[in-house]
């Protein structure tokens, strides 16, 4: 009798199993029927791998690997070992900036926003074939930017625009459909980043490298605004939950003042390249930096000293405040160079914040405990050693040593991440 019941129920079990394979897990934890697809079986099998479940998985890996290679190529070029970089589509300094700011920084920031948006909106974020396609577009741009052929450069520009439009469009559709008004601000912010990115490429391709550098610096300041918004949400929240006896205080007035002051500073800085203004952005930049530092003080940073996933975030935010203050000072004190002060933000804030966030997000969104491998503590420390060295040694007339040590710190730190997180990001959710 039991055998008969087993044979009768077996087809039913197979049907249930097939039904489950055709379902998608939503951010709410509920399962619903997957949309029909007409992809070839082999391609469908690829897109259903864990790697293509959410944007953070492939883009955290691709972005960090790209940054390690880009920094390595750049430092070799500076020492005369890769002269072919001078014959690529972009001028060498423009290539370095583009790959680190847009190829690495923007790619991972967008991956984070697309991943977080699933939690904010309870809408399924980009995944599967669409995510694979955008990843391939991102990879193609990295390769095409090496070409001197103007037609290929135009193709790279079009693909870069397509990548941005697809990402912004998907994010916008999620937050608008969910009426998540608090997150509408990311749409214009990313749109500005896109315009700066495309204008940067057009300027350098056209031989206007100085203009391209100005646009890149404007994009870095804009990135700082993004860090201020996101950091203002996650750092006090994580600190309050993860640090023992943390006394985190809300800063509503500072939170409202920061975007206004920052946008004024960015506006003055951007406009000053085209019009002779009677003032510099120094006051606005210093003011924005002080606001960041005051916010940080209210988040009880000392309480995080025993939690690497927290003090790394706090130090990255500290670098943003100090970086903006140093940028303002550079307008009045010749010893402090604008480019060196800017690296407090590019290395310490963008690099440091990204490393801290991806180490945390990669664990949390794959269902693993928020306990990174102990070697990540070394990686976090290296990022801030590299930041200090990159800023301080040029003040002591040792710029080459600053470049070398900072590059070694960056490469080592992100290599540690790649070593420990590749398997995690390519594996199924743990729970």
pLDDT of residue 297: 97
Question: Rounded mean pLDDT of 101-105?
Answer: 97
pLDDT of residue 11: 39
Assign domain 209-431 to a CATH class. mainly alpha
pLDDT of residue 301: 94
pLDDT of residue 23: 36
Q: Is residue 25 scored above 70 in pLDDT?
A: no
What band does 38 get if pLDDT is binned at 50, 70 and 90? low
Question: Rounded mean pLDDT of 321-350?
Answer: 96
In 3D space, the residue among 383, 389, 381 whose CA is nearest the CA of residue 411 turns out to be: 383
pLDDT of residue 73: 96
pLDDT of residue 61: 97
Specify the pTM: 0.89
Which residues of the chain are in CATH 1.20.210.10 domains? 209-431
Distance of CA 342 to the CA centre of its chain: 17
pLDDT of residue 41: 76
pLDDT of residue 298: 97
What band does 40 get if pLDDT is binned at 50, 70 and 90? confident
Would you give the DSSP letter of residue 36? P
pLDDT of residue 319: 98
pLDDT of residue 24: 43
Structure tokens of 316?
């990255």
pLDDT in tens, 216-254: 999 999 999 999 999 999 999 999 998 888 999 999 999
Q: Is residue 166 scored above 60 in pLDDT?
A: yes
Q: Is residue 325 scored above 60 in pLDDT?
A: yes
Assess contact for 110 and 167: CB atoms under 8 A: yes
pLDDT of residue 146: 93
In 3D space, the residue among 160, 57, 152, 159 whose CA is nearest the CA of residue 102 turns out to be: 160
Q: Which residues of 409-418 are buried (b: 16+ CB within 10 A; e: fewer)?
A: bbbebbebbe
Please, what is the average pLDDT of the chain? 90
Distance in angstroms (rounded) separating the CA atoms of residues 118 and 325: 35
Distance in angstroms (rounded) separating the CA atoms of residues 120 and 174: 9
Interhelix angle 209-242/186-205, rounded to 10 degrees, is 150
pLDDT of residue 7: 35
pLDDT in tens, 363-394: 999 999 999 999 999 999 999 999 999 999 99
pLDDT of residue 47: 79
Paired with 23 in beta bridges are: 33
- Compute CA distances 179 → 117, 172, 233, whole Å: 12, 10, 19
Question: Rounded mean pLDDT of 192-199?
Answer: 98
Q: Is residue 86 scored above 90 in pLDDT?
A: no
Q: Is residue 353 scored above 60 in pLDDT?
A: yes
Q: Is residue 150 scored above 50 in pLDDT?
A: yes
pLDDT of residue 30: 36
Assess contact for 24 and 335: CB atoms under 8 A: no
Distance in angstroms (rounded) separating the CA atoms of residues 76 and 66: 15
Strand locations in 246-404 (E)? none
pLDDT in tens, 300-310: 999 999 999 99
Question: Rounded mean pLDDT of 124-142?
Answer: 96
- Percentage of the chain exceeding pLDDT 90: 85
What band does 15 get if pLDDT is binned at 50, 70 and 90? very low
Paired with 2 in beta bridges are: none
What band does 82 get if pLDDT is binned at 50, 70 and 90? confident
φ, ψ for residue 111 (rounded to 5)? -60, -40
Interhelix angle 209-242/352-364, rounded to 10 degrees, is 50
Task: Supply angle C-alpha 246, 247, 252, rounded to 5.
Answer: 130
Contacts of 406 (CB under 8 A, 6+ apart): 343, 347, 386, 387, 389, 390
Question: Rounded mean pLDDT of 66-90?
Answer: 92
pLDDT of residue 3: 37
């Amino acid at each position: 009798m039991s055998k008969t019941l087993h044979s009768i129920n077996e087809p039913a079990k197979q049907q249930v199993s097939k039904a489950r394979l055709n379902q998608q897990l939503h951010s709410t934890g509920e399962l619903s029927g997957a949309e029909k697809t007409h992809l070839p079986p082999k391609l469908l099998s690829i897109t259903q791998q864990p790697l293509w479940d959410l944007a953070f998985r492939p883009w955290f890996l691709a972005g960090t690997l790209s940054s390690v290679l880009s920094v390595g190529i750049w430092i070799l070029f500076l020492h005369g070992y890769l002269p072919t970089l001078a014959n690529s589509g972009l001028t060498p300094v423009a290539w370095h900036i583009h790959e680190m700011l847009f190829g690495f920084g923007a790619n991972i920031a967008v991956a984070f926003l697309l991943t977080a948006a699933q939690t904010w909106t309870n809408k399924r974020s980009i995944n599967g074939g669409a995510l694979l396609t955008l990843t391939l577009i991102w990879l193609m741009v990295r390769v095409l930017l090496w070409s001197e052929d103007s037609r290929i450069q135009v193709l790279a520009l079009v693909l870069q625009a397509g990548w941005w439009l697809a990402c912004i469009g998907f994010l916008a559709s999620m937050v608008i459909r969910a009426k998540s008004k608090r997150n509408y601000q990311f749409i214009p912010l990313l749109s500005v980043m896109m315009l700066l990115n495309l204008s940067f490429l057009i300027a350098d391709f056209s031989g206007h490298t100085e203009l391209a550098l100005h646009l890149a610096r404007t994009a870095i300041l804009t990135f700082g605004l993004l860090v201020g918004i996101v950091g203002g949400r996650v750092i006090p929240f994580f600190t309050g939950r993860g640090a023992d006896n943390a006394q985190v205080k809300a800063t509503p007035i500072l939170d409202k003042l920061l975007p206004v002051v920052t946008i004024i500073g960015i506006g003055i800085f951007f406009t000053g390249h085209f019009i002779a203004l009677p003032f510099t952005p120094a006051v606005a930049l210093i003011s924005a930096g002080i606001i960041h530092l005051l916010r940080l003080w209210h988040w009880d940073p000392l309480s995080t000293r025993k939690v690497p996933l927290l003090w790394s975030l706090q130090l990255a935010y500290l670098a943003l405040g100090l970086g903006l203050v140093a940028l303002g000072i550079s307008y009045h004190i010749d010893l402090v160079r604008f480019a060196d002060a800017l690296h407090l933000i590019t290395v310490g804030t963008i690099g440091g914040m990204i490393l801290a966030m991806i180490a945390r997000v990669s664990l949390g969104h794959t269902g693993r405990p928020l306990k990174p491998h102990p070697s990540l503590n070394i990686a976090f420390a290296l990022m801030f050693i590299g930041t200090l060295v990159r800023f301080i040694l040029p003040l002591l007339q040792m710029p080459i040593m600053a470049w070398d040590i900072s590059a070694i710190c960056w490469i080592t730190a992100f290599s540690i991440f790649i070593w420990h997180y590749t398997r995690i990001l390519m594996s199924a959710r743990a729970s």
